[in-house]
């Protein structure tokens, strides 16, 4: 029985820079190893409308539905994609997500998910941080060092690790977060991975995961494995 949905970047949630057909199956493998039975959903808005009590985990691996921002390819959307979604349908999906958060659900938001699901206030409130056009950015893709916060329980026994990835920088933090990992740029520490507990629900955001090279890092895979096991405890 499916108990985990992976919302993947297709339709208005697709863009030319993030290979969601490549990364969502890799996430599905990690989700399955954590004890869930996942299904990859290509109809993001429809999946949220159909969210029911059997879903214990929601993974968001999708892009910005509002399309491109001049000079900022991170937020771009493939040309010709239909952007319109009936307001009533979006409200129905948001109500289902809010109900899931009320009863207790795990949410893992990955990489570009910081700019996704802009039509869902419940997601916005739960995530705890956002990619902001004109403010948030990332250094060029390449080798990066990820630092773990030793104060976070999920970091116990883990070590800092290297990864080939994008390092999201200057995200807007909207609420209190428990920082799990960070990177440093120009002497400033920027959160890369964080967790939150919201009543009976748990939320984690992982700014890594641009493409398959990110998941080739043993350190990143172990961090995700621990995070998914923590989300499974909901």
Q: pLDDT digit string (tens) for 16-40?
A: 999 999 999 999 999 999 999 999 9
Q: What is the pLDDT of residue 85?
A: 64
- Cα separation of the two ends of the chain: 18
CA 90 to mean position of chain CA atoms: 19
Q: What is the pLDDT of residue 140?
A: 94
- Enumerate residue ranges in the chain where pLDDT < 50: 70-83
Q: Which single residue is written with the structure tokens 């070590």? A: 159
> Which runs of E-coded beta strand occur in the chain?
4-8, 38-41, 57-61, 106-110, 129-130, 142-148, 161-165, 172-173, 178-185, 188-198, 201-206
Q: What is the pLDDT of residue 86?
A: 74
Q: Which single residue is written with the structure tokens 């000079």? A: 71
- Residue 233 CB: number of other CB atoms within 10 A? 7
Q: Which single residue is written with the structure tokens 């992982």? A: 206
Q: What is the pTM of this model?
A: 0.92
Q: What is the pLDDT of residue 88?
A: 81
Strand, coil or helix: 51:
coil
Query: Over the range 118-153, which residues count as b (16 or more CB within 10 Å of their CB) and which as e?
Result: ebbebbeebbbbbbebeebbbeeeeebebbbbeebe
DSSP labels, 101-115: HHH--EEEEEGGGGG
| Burial status of residue 199 (CB atoms within 10 A of its CB: 0-12, 13-18, 19 or more) | exposed
């Amino acid at each position: 029985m499916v108990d985990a949905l992976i919302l993947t970047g297709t339709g208005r949630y697709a863009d030319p820079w993030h290979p969601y057909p490549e990364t969502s199956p890799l996430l599905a493998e990690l989700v399955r190893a954590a004890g869930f039975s996942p299904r990859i959903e290509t109809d993001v808005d429809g999946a949220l409308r159909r969210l029911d009590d059997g879903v214990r985990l929601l993974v968001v691996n999708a892009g910005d539905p509002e399309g491109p921002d001049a000079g900022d390819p991170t937020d771009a959307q493939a040309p010709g994609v239909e952007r319109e979604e009936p307001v009533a349908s979006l409200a129905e999906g948001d109500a289902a997500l809010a109900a899931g958060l009320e009863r207790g659900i795990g949410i893992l938001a990955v990489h570009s998910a910081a700019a996704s699901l802009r039509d869902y206030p419940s997601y916005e409130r739960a995530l705890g941080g956002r990619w902001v056009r004109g403010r948030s950015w990332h250094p060029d893709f390449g080798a990066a060092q990820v630092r773990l916060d030793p104060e976070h329980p999920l970091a116990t026994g883990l070590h800092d690790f290297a990864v080939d990835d994008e390092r999201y920088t200057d995200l807007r933090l909207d609420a209190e977060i428990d920082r799990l990992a960070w990177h440093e740029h120009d002497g400033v520490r920027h959160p890369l991975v964080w967790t939150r507990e919201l009543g009976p629900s748990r939320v984690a955001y992982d700014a890594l995961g641009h493409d398959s090279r990110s998941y080739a890092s043993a350190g990143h895979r172990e961090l995700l494995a621990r995070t998914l096991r923590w989300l499974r405890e909901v």
